[in-house]
């Protein structure tokens, strides 16, 4: 397929891998931010082409994984109400809350629907005036503009039966939180290409400078990731710590400005809890006061119940790169994609789920 | 006062109810949950040697003749889709299940569960489509049943067909007969039916219309048999697609399968749609494709026959040993990984 096969070419991948081997002289630890990148790395086996000196840590960039349990419980509470049509992106439906998940709420009679865009939820609200339509707005800067547009449209249309449960998160504050952690091993970042397509990469310059860490805006196909790794290693080997753009076919330095303006119009920056990490200041988006009527939490008066994560789950350590998924004692035993204990096993883009799905056998894991 | 009737105790429900107090859609999705339900509830309850082979069609003897018997229900929505409809599918699907046992399909039954309010015209179109498909497949629909349920309690119409075929060869075509060294072939491109349905259902518009691959495959199988190809196993690639089919075989045959990503044909438009939605074409349903396990010496001849019917047919891998019950995939950049059974329904991802 055009614009895809070129980036999955086996021979070119080997050439990149040889070049990475050639330039690497010391051990380096890199983190790919985005769950999409993690998934591609494990699915295509990209890390197996890298020299032993290079360790890839799988970052917190899976929006489904980092959505806090409390928020999922709120979603479940709202979705159970008989007057509600609850809408969300598909992979959010399988994520377990503390007692059940949205698919089970649906099986038990709740009206839970998959939508491909929050704008579809606005349409549903127009078509079903007697029902309350709630959209579960999850994701990074990539999906936030669509959520913002939906709220904006709903306001223009004066819809009173539409609201959103918002759990949007921002990438740069999470990167900074990781860098500030005393256990941080990350020496270079592959930044999430699609986040940068929206936000540009101006935000990364202060981070690269302050923490002396190379940040390479990277795409999602095997050759993108290999080139991103190569560019990071080249910087590390030559003692540089700069922001570079590997994904120039999709990302401009200033990003998508109309999308950013829309975000500013609808959202304010708020503190947000990340599942597996904890609360990070200024790391989330919440509705501005003038759009408060669309806030499902307020509308339905759902209260936050503090819930305990499973004591067996080590996803926080996985997200910080202190252990690999298979080093967790619960991995594949108590914790599987069908019965996930924590953040990184819940979505197909979580590091534990990717390891489970593609290389849960001891000999495959031993290969890297 | 009459004596107490003996109470028939129900055993404890074998599917852990604490985890699933309700049946989920995923229990019918062709993935792990469905296999758990079938294995722990149905197989456990009905176990017998024929059922336990877990083949698409059961092969049994009846007054000295070998027959194949199968049943399947069709609940597709929308009822009409590019490349087919529920009527033609209800014939092809059951005929194909018989073909997977190497049987020549002969008779079908047809049971309709119709929702009150279905336009008579729609039902007639479906019936005409079934008639045409049955004629094309050389089968007769010799018995049937009709039920109507209240409006809102069906999805237009559900159809169940059962099929009987005659087994006219001495081969044992079953997962248990898969041998190390067997070549794995697929009869064409994969993933098309699932994407055709998804595109219509979700109102996704692509430049070209993706058409379902719904078609009978018994002719291909009979040709393979006629050519004297020693077929070890056949499996049609329906729910859960190629991935589920291969995992089912690996498990039932207790073998290791190794396939190559590059060798599996997926049409350009299907790949594009899957990329957009974050779906895996290998896990997406087909309705006119099957995988064949054939000894290496016969593989080339078999491929030639498959190619008469689809130029996309190909050798996709081989059977080995060492990791029994596991399917491996060599990725496009040459690294080996597990090709895992999907959990449940594929869900479009966030970003």
Task: Please tell me the predicted confidence (pLDDT) of residue B1.
Answer: 42
As a whole number of Å, the CA-based R_g of chain A is 21
| Range from A195-209, B10-24, B110-124, B320-334 carrying the lowest mean pLDDT | B10-24
Mean pLDDT estimate for chain B? 90
Domain edge (last residue) among B136, B167, B198: B167
Percent of chain A whose pLDDT exceeds 70? 98
Per-residue pLDDT averaged across A146-150, rounded? 96
pLDDT, position B239: 87
B23 in A contact zone (CB under 8 Å): yes
Q: How many domains does chain B have?
A: 3
User: Is the predicted pLDDT of residue B12 greater than 60, yes or no?
Assistant: no
Q: Which domains does chain A have, with CATH numbers?
A: 28-313 (3.40.50.11740), 315-366 (no CATH)
Domain assignment of residue B5, yes or no: no
* CA dist., res. B26 & res. B47, Å (int): 23
Looking at residue A349, its pLDDT comes to 80
List, as ranges, residues 141-160 from A with C-beta within 8 Å of B.
Answer: 142-143
- Which chain B residues are Cβ-neighbours of A4 within 8 angstroms? 271, 275
Q: How does strand A215-218 pair with strand A243-245? A: parallel
Decide if B333 and A89 are in contact by the 8 Å CB cutoff. no
Give the model's confidence band at B17: pLDDT under 50 very low, under 70 low, under 90 confident, else very high: low
Of the three residues B167, B193, B209, the one that is the final residue of a domain is: B167
B202 CB neighbours in chain A (<8 A) are 116
CB pairs under 8 A, 24+ apart, for A253-261? A253/A200, A253/A201, A253/A202, A254/A200, A254/A202, A255/A196, A255/A197, A255/A198, A255/A199, A255/A200, A255/A201, A255/A202, A256/A145, A256/A197, A256/A198, A256/A199, A256/A200, A259/A145, A259/A198, A260/A145, A260/A198, A260/A199, A260/A200
Q: Answer yes or no: do B199 and B265 share one domain.
A: yes
- On whether residue B113 sits in a domain, the answer given is yes
Q: Which of A108-112, A193-197, A302-306, B260-264 has the lowest mean pLDDT?
A: A302-306
More confident of the two residues B223 and B55: B223
A45 to B268: CB separation less than 8 angstroms, yes or no: no
Residue ending a domain, among B119, B150, B167, is B167
Joined together, the tokens standing for residue B109 give 């039954």
Residues B196 and B330 grouped into a single domain: yes
Instruction: Tell me which residues of chain B, numbers 257 to 316, contact chain A at a CB-CB cutoff of 8 Å.
Output: 262, 268, 271-272, 275, 277-278
Pair B62, B153 in one domain = yes
> Model-level pTM?
0.85
Q: What percent of chain B has pLDDT over 90?
A: 71
**Assigned domain for B345 exists:** no
Within an 8 Å CB–CB cutoff, is residue A109 touching chain B? no
- Residue A40's closest chain B neighbor by CA? B331
A1, A93, A107 member nearest B347 (Cβ): A93
Q: Which residues of A335-361 are buried (b: 16+ CB within 10 A; e: fewer)?
A: bbbbebbbbbbbbbbbbbbbbbbbbbb
Q: Which domain holds residue B163?
A: 57-167
A364 confidence band (pLDDT: 50, 70, 90): low
Residues B36 and B148 in one domain: no
Among A39-53, A221-235, B110-124, B297-311, name the one with the lowest average pLDDT: A39-53
Specify the 3-state DSSP secondary structure of B330: strand
**Does residue B16 have a pLDDT over 60?**
no
Task: Write the DSSP string, B201-241.
Answer: HTT---SSPPPP-----HHHHHHHHHTT----EEEE--TTH
Indicate if B249 and B108 belong to the same structural domain.
no
CATH number of domain containing B162: 3.30.1330.10
**Is residue B256 a part of any domain in this protein?**
yes
Q: Greater confidence, B225 or B3?
A: B225
Average pLDDT, integer, range B139-149: 97
> What are B227-266's pLDDT values in tens digits?
999 999 999 999 889 999 999 999 999 999 999 999 999 9
B83 within a domain of the structure (yes/no): yes
Kindly report which listed range (A231-240, A265-274, B267-276, B340-349) carries the lowest average pLDDT score.
B340-349
Position A340 pLDDT exceeds 90: no
What is the sign of the dihedral through the CA atoms of B203, B204, B206 and B208? negative
Residues B103 and B238 in one domain: no
Q: Percentage of residues in chain A with pLDDT exceeding 90? A: 70
Q: Is the pLDDT of residue B267 over 60?
A: yes
Lowest mean pLDDT: which of A74-83, A171-180, B335-344? B335-344
**B337 reaches A (C-beta below 8 A):** yes
Q: Which of the four pLDDT bands, split at 50, 70 and 90, describes residue B2?
A: very low
What value does the mean pLDDT take over residues A110-124?
Answer: 94
Residues B144 and B286 both lie in one domain: no
Closest CB to A104 among B22, B340, B347: B22
Q: Residue B200's pLDDT is what?
A: 84
Q: What is the SS3 assignment for A108?
A: coil
Task: Give the pLDDT band (50/70/90) at residue A362.
Answer: low
Residues B76 and B162 in one domain: yes
Nearest CA in chain B to A361: B338
Inter-residue contact B161 to B93 (CB < 8 Å)? yes
Measured CA to CA, the distance from residue A41 to residue A53 in angstroms comes to 17
A360 touches chain B (CB under 8 A): yes
pLDDT at A339: 83
Percent of chain B with pLDDT over 70: 91
Q: What is the pLDDT of residues B63-101, one digit of tens each?
A: 889 999 999 999 998 999 999 999 999 999 999 999 999
B217 inside domain: yes
Q: Kindly state the average pLDDT of the residues B155-165.
A: 96
Whether residue B4 is contained in a domain is answered as no
Q: In terms of domains, do B181 and B216 share one?
A: yes
Domain co-membership, B195 together with B302: yes
Q: Are residues B92 and B195 in the same domain?
A: no
Whether the CB of A13 is below 8 Å from some CB of chain B: the reply is yes
Chain B residues closer than 8 Å to A94 by CB? 343-344, 347
Mean pLDDT of chain A: 92
Q: Do B156 and B251 belong together in one domain?
A: no
CATH number assigned to the domain comprising residue B240: 3.90.650.10
């Amino acid at each position: 397929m055009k614009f895809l096969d070129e980036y999955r070419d086996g021979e070119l991948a080997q050439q990149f891998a040889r070049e990475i081997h050639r330039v690497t002289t010391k051990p380096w630890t890199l983190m790919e931010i985005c769950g999409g990148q993690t998934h591609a790395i494990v699915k295509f086996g990209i890390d197996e082409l890298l020299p032993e000196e290079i360790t890839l840590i799988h970052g917190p960039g899976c929006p489904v994984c980092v959505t806090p349990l409390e928020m999922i419980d709120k979603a479940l509470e709202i979705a159970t109400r008989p007057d509600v049509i609850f809408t969300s992106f598909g992979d959010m439906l399988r994520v377990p809350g503390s007692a059940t998940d949205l698919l089970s709420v649906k099986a038990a009679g709740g009206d839970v629907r998959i939508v491909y865009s929050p704008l579809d939820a606005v349409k549903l609200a127009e078509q079903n005036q007697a029902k309350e339509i709630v959209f579960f707005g999850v994701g990074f800067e990539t999906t936030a503009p669509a959520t913002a547009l939906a709220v904006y449209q709903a306001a223009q249309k004066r819809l009173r039966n539409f609201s959103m449960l918002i759990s949007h998160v921002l990438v740069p504050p999470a990167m900074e939180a990781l860098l500030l952690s005393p256990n941080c091993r990350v020496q270079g970042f592959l930044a999430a290409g699609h986040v940068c397509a929206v936000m540009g990469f101006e935000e990364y310059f202060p981070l690269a400078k302050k923490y002396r860490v190379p940040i390479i805006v990277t795409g999602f196909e095997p050759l993108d990731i290999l080139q991103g790794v190569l560019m990071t290693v080249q910087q590390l080997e030559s003692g540089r710590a700069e922001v570079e753009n590997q994904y120039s076919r999709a990302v401009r330095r200033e990003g998508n400005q109309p999308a950013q303006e829309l975000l500013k119009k609808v959202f304010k920056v708020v503190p947000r809890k990340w599942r597996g990490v904890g609360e990070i200041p200024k790391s989330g988006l919440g509705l501005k006061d003038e759009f408060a009527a669309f806030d499902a939490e307020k509308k339905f008066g759902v209260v936050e119940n503090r819930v305990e994560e499973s004591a067996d789950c080590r996803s926080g350590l996985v997200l910080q790169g202190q252990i690999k998924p298979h080093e967790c004692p619960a991995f594949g035993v108590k914790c599987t994609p069908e019965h996930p204990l924590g953040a990184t096993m819940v979505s197909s883009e979580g590091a534990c789920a990717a390891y489970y799905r593609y290389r849960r056998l001891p000999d495959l894991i031993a290969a890297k | 006062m009459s004596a107490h009737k003996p109470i028939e105790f129900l055993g404890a429900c074998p599917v852990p109810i604490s985890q699933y107090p309700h049946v989920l859609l995923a229990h019918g999705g062709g993935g792990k949950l469905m296999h758990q339900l079938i294995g722990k509830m149905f197989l456990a309850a009905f176990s017998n040697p024929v059922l336990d082979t877990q083949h698409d069609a059961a092969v049994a003897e009846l007054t000295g003749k070998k027959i194949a018997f199968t049943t399947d229900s069709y609940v597709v929505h929308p009822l009409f889709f590019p490349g087919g409809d529920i009527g033609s599918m209800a014939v092809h699907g059951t005929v194909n299940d018989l073909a997977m046992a190497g049987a020549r399909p002969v008779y079908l039954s047809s049971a309709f569960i119709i929702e009150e309010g279905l336009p008579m015209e729609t039902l007639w179109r479906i019936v005409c489509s079934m008639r045409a498909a049955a004629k094309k497949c050389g089968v007769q629909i010799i018995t049937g049943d009709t039920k109507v349920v209240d409006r809102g309690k069906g999805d237009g119409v559900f159809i169940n067909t059962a099929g009987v075929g005659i087994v006219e060869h001495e081969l044992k075509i079953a997962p248990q007969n898969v041998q190390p060294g067997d070549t794995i072939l697929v009869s064409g491109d994969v993933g098309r039916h699932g994407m055709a349905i998804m595109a219509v259902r979700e109102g996704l518009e692509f430049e070209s219309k993706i058409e379902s691959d719904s078609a009978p495959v018994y002719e291909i199988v009979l040709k393979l048999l006629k050519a004297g190809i020693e077929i070890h196993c056949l499996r049609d690639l329906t729910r859960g697609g190629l991935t589920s089919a291969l995992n089912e075989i690996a498990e039932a045959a207790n073998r290791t399968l190794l396939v190559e990503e590059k060798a599996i044909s997926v049409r350009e438009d299907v790949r594009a749609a899957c990329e957009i939605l974050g779906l895996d074409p290998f896990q997406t349903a087909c309705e006119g494709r099957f995988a064949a396990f054939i000894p290496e010496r016969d593989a080339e001849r078999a491929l030639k026959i498959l190619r008469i019917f689809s130029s996309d047919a190909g050798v996709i891998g081989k059977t080995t040993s060492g990791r029994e019950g596991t399917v491996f995939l060599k990725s496009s950049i040459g690294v080996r990984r597990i090709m895992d059974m999907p959990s449940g329904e594929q869900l479009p991802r966030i970003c």
